[in-house]
Amino acid sequence: MSGIVRIAQLSDTHFLAPGEEPEGGQAYDTSAAFEAVYDHIRDTTVDTPLDMVVVTGDVADHGRDAQYRRAADAFSRFNVPVNVCPGNHDFDDQFRAGIARPNVNTSRVIEAGAWAFVFVDSNDGATVQNEHGVWVDPPGEDRLHVNGSLGVREADWVRRICDATTAEHVFIWLHHPPAATLPLCQDADYTAEWQALVPDVVKLRGFAGGHTHVATDYEFEGHPVFVAPAFKNNFSMEPRQWLPPGYRTFEFHPDGSVTSDVHYVEPDERWPIRPFGRLLHSLFMGDINYEEMREIISRKAADGGV
DSSP 43: H
Q: How far, rounded to the nearest angstrom, does the alpha carbon of residue 141 sit from its chain's CA centroid?
A: 18
DSSP 199: G
User: What DSSP string describes 222-283?
Assistant: TEEEEE---SS-EEETTTTEEE--EEEEEEE-TTS-EEEEEEEPPP-TTS--EE--HHHHHH
Among residues 193, 222, 196, the alpha carbon closest in space to that of 207 is found at 222
User: What DSSP string describes 87-136?
Assistant: -TT--HHHHHHHS-BTTEE--SEEEETTEEEEE--TTGGG-EE-TTS-EE
Among residues 264, 147, 155, 173, the alpha carbon closest in space to that of 226 is found at 173
Q: Which domains does the chain have, with CATH numbers?
A: 5-275 (3.60.21.10), 278-306 (no CATH)
Q: Mean pLDDT throughout 151-166?
A: 97
- pLDDT tens-digit series, residues 88-104: 999 999 999 999 999 99
What length is written for the chain?
306
- pLDDT tens-digit series, residues 209-228: 999 999 999 999 999 999 99
291 band by pLDDT with thresholds 50, 70 and 90: confident
- pLDDT tens-digit series, residues 21-80: 998 778 999 999 999 999 999 999 999 999 999 999 999 999 999 999 999 999 999 999
Number of H helices, E strands in the chain: 7, 17
305 band by pLDDT with thresholds 50, 70 and 90: low
The β-bridge relationship of strands 5-10 and 52-56 is parallel
- pLDDT tens-digit series, residues 191-213: 999 999 999 999 999 999 999 99
What SS3 state is found at 171?
Answer: strand
294: pLDDT strictly greater than 90: no
Radius of gyration of the chain (CA): 19
